[in-house]
Structure 1
Amino acid sequence: MNRPIRVAIVGAGPAGIYAGSILANRVPGVAIDLFESLPAPYGLIRYGVAPDHPRIKGIVTSLHEMLDGGAIRLIGNVEVGADLSVADLRAHYHAVIFATGAIRDADLDIPGVELAGSYGAADFVSWYDGHPDVPRDWTLDAAHVAVIGNGNVALDVARILAKHPEDLLTTEIPDNVVAGLTASAVTDVHVFGRRGPADVKFTPIELRELGELRDVDIILDEADFAVDASANPAVGASATASGSAPKPSNQSKVMARIFGSWREREVGSASRRLHLHFFHKPLEVLGDQHVEAIRFERTAIDADGRLVGTGAVHDYPIGAVYRAVGYYGSPVNDVPFAPETGTIPNAGGRVIDAEGRAVPGLYATGWIKRGPVGLIGHTKSDATETIENLVDDLEALLTATEPTGGDILSLLTSREVAFTTWAGWLRLDAHERHLGTSTPLAVERERVKVVPRDEQVAISRDEVLALS
């Protein structure tokens, strides 16, 4: 290989950063540019993880080390498809890897879901995480709210809604979010799942944290724990597709113990309540102009292990609904997209067209490649597969195409795009940490996030921004 290879990665979340790090180790001398639509890196680690999860956010330390090593050039505040086209990237790089993730809410196809007071969980998460592109205010005027879903995002949303805001002050939660939560009218949060306690998608850490909330009672329905109790006495396990009861895993045993301890608690003294409802299938959001209630059908597991409706219907008076039923990817202009899965169609990370043929020079990794499932470990192995296939394609890429443009930063400058850099992120990071130590509140905070995009850009680019 006589010529250096240039690779663009679109998306500076864990998937994109891992791909860049693996590529840098596999191909010495490769030039890697990492593009991010936001002024700051880290994707869902910064804007999708609840602020009271410092253990999960610890991954930022390793991501920081990968970007700080100098092998990857971060170029932020650049929207591929708007500021730069895919054609622009292909003129400057031998290969382009898309790591754009899945940040939209998956649809919940029931009547009334469009009513005022019905929200996607992803939008709420973006608000409490200080995403620069969502409104600063969030309406929290309903006493009883519903969260639909049985995954970790549903628990994050429920926990933030139920938690007293003063218990979040040591985190990096933005000031406008503290103000919004302080004014919240929420007293009761109802979390609904279609299947039973044995089939939840929570992790034990997430579930345990619910029981540690100050001045919040956990309310369970004993009827939800009566299914196949002989297989798992503390939880009750649903049958498998074959009709036989599954053997509890170590994780399910931990979850069983947590549920069991909650069922023995005395409740009634707390000012807020978090209700967990199982075997509830949402049928309709009810209301005239605004959410007033939500209708569910009671479900059960039949003799063949299938989830079926029982015909029993119940309406819950609710003033707001949060849909946490999954994430969905977004298309990129001029890149194949599969709307049924919300992913870029690919074979082992090689992007493929409608005829199933590989598109030379285009690759995908992370959730936009495989869908919004899996943890950080899956992201690493996912990136490894994509990079190995890219490396296998190197000779063909170098033979077939040669970047013809100059440095991409010159193109961005000519288009008056206010891009940010790694040095700019270090300035913004230091600024936010300083705000945390200089807060007028009684507690010292990890950081105070700068929320407005123009402020982030100005600080990152070392500009003076006149704020009104």
Structure 2
Amino acid sequence: MMLSCGVSRLIVRHLRTGVASTAQVPQVCIVGSGPAGFYTAQQILKSHAAAQVDMYEKLPVPFGLVRYGVAPDHPEVKNCINTFTQTAAKDRFTFLGNVDIGSDITFSQLREAYHAVVLAYGAAQDRALNIPGESLPNVLSAREFVGWYNGLPENADLKVDLNVESVGIIGQGNVAVDVARILLTPVDILKKTDIPENILERLNGSRVRHMTLVGRRGPEHVAFTIKELREMVNLEGSRPDLRREDYKHLRNLIPNLPRPRKRLLELLAKTGLDAPDPKLASSWAAAEKQLEGEGLNQRAVQTDETESLQCGLILRSIGYKGVEIDSSLPFDQRTGTISNNGGRVTGQNGKVLCTGPVGVILSTMTSGFTTGKVVVADMETGSVDISRPRSGQTLIKSALAEKGVQPVSFDQWNRLNQYEVETGAKLGKPREKVSNIKHMMDIIHQ
């Protein structure tokens, strides 16, 4: 009776999903567990009733830039983790952390094991200025610095000297403003965030009092959003010091701009032109370049004029690019991107797709959803052949076992998550991150 009942349930499940045999169960692999990967997984599971989605992550922990890139004082942005956790709880989803694609497992092994592979491993390499002095001590990338104060294991031992008064930040995007704000925010405020205790101690001893943001174009071209600007304008203990002559022309541009850009530049113009006497802790300056063109379409042209800024720490925040994980992929070394058409990787017959971070998380969500729909559409039209069975995680786990690699499950991550939250609660903060991989693994397997 019990055996018959169990078989009946299995048959019903297959009828509901429209699957006649295991040969028609699509096996999909996603490389990377950040927002792009999770939103892609969410869409695939929602749109296809039978697809099995396995997600691989280099670190033992999920969530990528949400955990290690979002500013610690922006906890509301991390709420998407709740949605990702719901996705991870689904029967047809498996998380495999602590697996390095390209080292522990090759891309060709993934191609063999899965019907479709989605590359969502992000942009882990910095864009360089390629100028003299870029490799000097205390000249760092903003990506490394953000990883440092967010507890990213690879940046935990970053050599940062905060025994300086002036910091220069090259770039005018949200990351540049986030870095400036974290360095200038009173530690009494930061200690209520998930910044690790050892980093808080370093920040508490910081002598930083003056911050200069440098951009290659004019203020109308800034890449940060109004939220970040408003936070800087209202930051406790700081006051923005903008060169008035660089902002006078904005009021002629503002009336004809789209509403979001209009609101941003209205606040920027007000800050630059109506600010009181500048006894300041922060400064935003334009670069010594000539601008050619009209309005928002201007481009920067190098001139012979130079200006010297005395800075004890310089942070480069000019964007990131991806890294190559396999020579068979059409990777452009100059741009750090994988050649693709609508997410379908060139030369891979639709079996390999890519997606990644696009600006703010909302944009990344849209990109991930689009990629998920493409995967499902290709399976439904036959562009991705799912008639032949693929072994999926079974083959990969066998290969990992031969190398002695222990993949971390989502349940094991929850064990570490509970440890971090409980430790943080004792300190009056959301969590106390573990930033050492060996320590992570010890907690996971205890």
How would you bin the TM-score normalised by the shorter chain? 0.7 to 0.9
Matched, 1:325 2:318: yes
1:179 shift after superposition: 1.3
Matched, 1:251 2:277: no
Q: Distance in 1 between matches of 2:301 and 2:354?
A: 37
Q: Distance in 2 between matches of 1:276 and 1:267?
A: 15
Q: Distance in 2 between matches of 1:83 and 1:185?
A: 43
The residue aligned with 2:134 is 113
Distance 1:300 1:88, change over 3 A: closer
Matched, 1:78 2:99: yes
Aligned with 1:341 (options 335, 344, 349): 335
Aligned with 2:147 (options 126, 144, 147): 126
Amino acid paired to 2:97: G
1:223 shift after superposition: 1.5
User: Unaligned 5+ residue runs, structure 1?
Assistant: 233-245, 281-296, 368-372, 464-468
The residue aligned with 1:375 is 360
Distance 1:59 1:360, change over 3 A: closer
Higher relative contact order (CA 8 A, sep 6+): 2
1:388 shift after superposition: 3.2
Q: Helix, strand or coil for the counterpart of 1:116? A: coil
Q: Aligned-residue CA RMSD in angstroms? A: 2.3
Q: Distance in 2 between matches of 1:380 and 1:265?
A: 37
Q: Distance in 2 between matches of 1:124 and 1:63?
A: 26
How many residues get paired? Answer: 417
1:301-334 deviation per Cα after TM superposition (whole angstroms, max 9, x unaligned): 4569443445432111112210100111111124
User: Unaligned 5+ residue runs, structure 2?
Assistant: 1-18
**Identity across the alignment (%):** 32
1:93 shift after superposition: 1.6
Aligned with 1:44 (options 65, 69, 76): 65
The residue aligned with 1:140 is 162
Higher helix share: 2
1:33 shift after superposition: 0.8
1:154 shift after superposition: 0.6
The residue aligned with 2:351 is 361
Q: Distance in 2 between matches of 1:11 and 1:157?
A: 25
Amino acid paired to 1:388: K
Q: Distance in 1 between matches of 2:253 and 2:372?
A: 44
1:330-366 deviation per Cα after TM superposition (whole angstroms, max 9, x unaligned): 11124331122211111222211xxxx3345222122
1:62-90 deviation per Cα after TM superposition (whole angstroms, max 9, x unaligned): 22222223331111011011111112222
Q: Distance in 1 between matches of 2:71 and 2:393?
A: 41
Q: Mean alpha-carbon deviation: is it higher for 312-321 or for 146-155?
A: 312-321
Q: Is the contact made by 1:218 and 1:267 (CA closer than 8 Å) also made in structure 2?
A: no
1:130-153 deviation per Cα after TM superposition (whole angstroms, max 9, x unaligned): 001123353222211100001001
Q: Is the contact made by 1:351 and 1:363 (CA closer than 8 Å) also made in structure 2?
A: yes
The residue aligned with 1:197 is 219
Q: Is the contact made by 2:165 and 2:209 (CA closer than 8 Å) also made in structure 1?
A: yes
Q: Helix, strand or coil for the counterpart of 1:89? A: helix
1:115-142 deviation per Cα after TM superposition (whole angstroms, max 9, x unaligned): 2221111000110110011233532222
Amino acid paired to 1:88: Q
Q: Is the contact made by 2:251 and 2:269 (CA closer than 8 Å) also made in structure 1?
A: no
Q: Distance in 2 between matches of 1:225 and 1:94?
A: 54
1:265 shift after superposition: 3.8
Distance 1:393 1:109, change over 3 A: same
The residue aligned with 2:11 is none
The residue aligned with 1:238 is none
TM-score by length of 1: 0.83
Q: Is the contact made by 1:9 and 1:32 (CA closer than 8 Å) also made in structure 2?
A: yes
Q: Distance in 2 between matches of 1:114 and 1:70?
A: 48
Q: Is the contact made by 1:136 and 1:176 (CA closer than 8 Å) also made in structure 2?
A: no
1:256 shift after superposition: 3.3
Distance 1:249 1:393, change over 3 A: closer
Q: Is the contact made by 2:72 and 2:195 (CA closer than 8 Å) also made in structure 1?
A: yes
Aligned with 2:306 (options 299, 303, 313): 313
The residue aligned with 1:453 is 437
